[in-house]
Amino acid sequence: MLMLSNISVSCEGSRILRGVNLTVPEHSLVCLMGRNGVGKTTTLKTILGLAKLDAGSVKLADAELTGLKPDQRARLGIGYVPQGRDIFPHLTVWENLKISLVVHGAKANGQVDRVLELFPVLKEMLSRKGGVLSGGQQQQLAIARALLTDPKILILDEPTEGIQPNIIDLIGDTLLKIKKEGKISILLVEQYLDFCLGVGDSFYIMDRGAIVAEGPIAHLNDDIVKKHLTV
């Protein structure tokens, strides 16, 4: 489905990614984990077309993404929920959602209803400004907005960061539901171990710009956690 092969990226003369290989198979939820500053968000940027590659290639299904612009990639089916959510605080919830429909030329009706079913709280808040929502509600809005682009793959960057436990559970349930529907694969960047254990099928761990461990989520044992994830 999504395949990163031998990706290297530099920024201002220093290497940030070193030969990253990562695959997200169809129907699966893959967790990309690692401490702060190891290159997780940069890896996502290489998928979105926001980072310049020194080497390597990114493929979505059979399409080669390398060389395509971010908007072209998005239209091929990449839904992105950025770290820190990045919703429009001065637009209403409805306007935040509509923007994504406009950008992707999708038809409003059925799509919005379907997505709002996943996040009932948003339905009650359509006319509120995005900025007055709680962090958890904003995160749900950001996920809803990404789903409205009708993605083949949904990419989330630390969606549990700063979110209260009951909303984290809700987000986890929603990701599992989306995965079960079978149309969308998920790449989840996450530092919250228990969340990954609850929703993931497989994991990759990154350290200083390289993948240092990977496997089915059941193989993520204490040794690996101690070595690569605990601070």
Ligand X SMILES: Nc1ncnc2c1ncn2[C@@H]1O[C@H](COP(=O)(O)OP(=O)(O)OP(=O)(O)O)[C@@H](O)[C@H]1O
C-alpha–C-alpha distance, residues 93 and 125, integer Å: 7
Residue 41, interface with ligand X (CB under 6 A)?
yes
C-alpha closest to that of 9 among 60, 59, 66: 66
Residue 230, interface with ligand X (CB under 6 A)?
no
Cβ 213 to ligand X shortest distance, Å: 15
* Residue 97 near residue 112, CB atoms below 8 Å: yes
Residue 177 to residues 54, 64, 149, 182, 219, Cα–Cα distance (Å): 37, 29, 17, 9, 23
Cβ 49 to ligand X shortest distance, Å: 15
C-alpha closest to that of 183 among 207, 216, 213, 149: 149
Residue 191, interface with Mg ion (CB under 5 A)?
no
Closest residue by beta carbon to Mg ion: 41
Residue 57, interface with Mg ion (CB under 5 A)?
no
Cβ 29 to Mg ion shortest distance, Å: 18
Residue (119 or 157) nearer to Mg ion, CB = 157
C-alpha–C-alpha distance, residues 90 and 81, integer Å: 19
Residue 131, interface with ligand X (CB under 6 A)?
no
Residue 41, interface with Mg ion (CB under 5 A)?
yes
Residue 28, interface with ligand X (CB under 6 A)?
no
3-class DSSP state for residue 20? strand
Q: Which residues bind Mg ion (CB under 5 A)?
A: 40-41, 83
Q: Which residues bind ligand X (CB under 6 A)?
A: 11-12, 16, 34, 36-42, 83
